[in-house]
Amino acid sequence: MGRLSLQHRPEEVVLWARQRDLPPSITDVQKFSEAWIAWWGNCQPKWRSTETWPYPRDDAKEKDWARLNVTGTSGLFAVVMSTSWWAAAAGSGSHRGELDSAIEDLCWVIENLLHFNSRLPVVGTGRVDAPEADHFPGHGARDPGKRKIKPTPKVSNRT
């Protein structure tokens, strides 16, 4: 399984990733927003321009989104979670403009990821109309038939 870029990742995200406990408290919204935007820029595919914020949102339906197609707490989930912390800390204050741009960009990326994933081949279906994408290690074509579910260990109440 891959992970998103760690470069410029806000300290609050680092702490949350280690503890996976309560959401962190963001005391300096300006510092957090600058770190979040820099981190988000490092997570983007190489073909996407990140020289100016907000990042341009050109037609990208047919582009390769594998770099952001990362699941789990080291993936896009961490971006969504950290955006919610930012929203709670920013409230309706002066930092709302940057936050709104970030939310718009994140929504646009998720829409493109949905389209990207709909084009990925599903192993074992004979579907060959989707182009192969360059994936991170551990992110090959989806195979719904090979999902392994680990049984929950039984807890004994014996004393």
The total of other beta-carbon atoms located within 10 Å of residue 95's CB is 17
* pLDDT beyond 90 at 159: no
How far apart, in Å, are the Cα atoms of 112 and each of 64, 71, 92, 137, 138?
A: 9, 15, 28, 21, 21
What DSSP letter does each residue of 94-118 carry, written as one string?
Answer: TTHHHHHHHHHHHHHHHHHHHHHHH
Q: How far apart are CA 2 and CA 15, in angstroms?
A: 19
Residue 137: pLDDT band with limits 50, 70, 90: very low
Q: How far apart are CA 126 and CA 152, in angstroms?
A: 34
Per-residue confidence (pLDDT) for residue 92, from 0 to 100: 79
Per-residue confidence (pLDDT) for residue 64, from 0 to 100: 93
* pLDDT beyond 90 at 32: yes
Tokens of 11: 């300290």
Q: Is 131 helix (H, G, I), strand (E, B) or coil?
A: coil
* pLDDT beyond 60 at 135: no
Highest mean pLDDT among 5-19, 73-87, 145-159: 73-87
Per-residue confidence (pLDDT) for residue 130, from 0 to 100: 44
Q: How far apart are CA 69 and CA 21, in angstroms?
A: 24
Per-residue confidence (pLDDT) for residue 154, from 0 to 100: 58
Highest mean pLDDT among 16-20, 86-90, 149-153: 86-90
CB 25 within 8 A of CB 13: no
Per-residue confidence (pLDDT) for residue 74, from 0 to 100: 83
Residue 133: pLDDT band with limits 50, 70, 90: very low
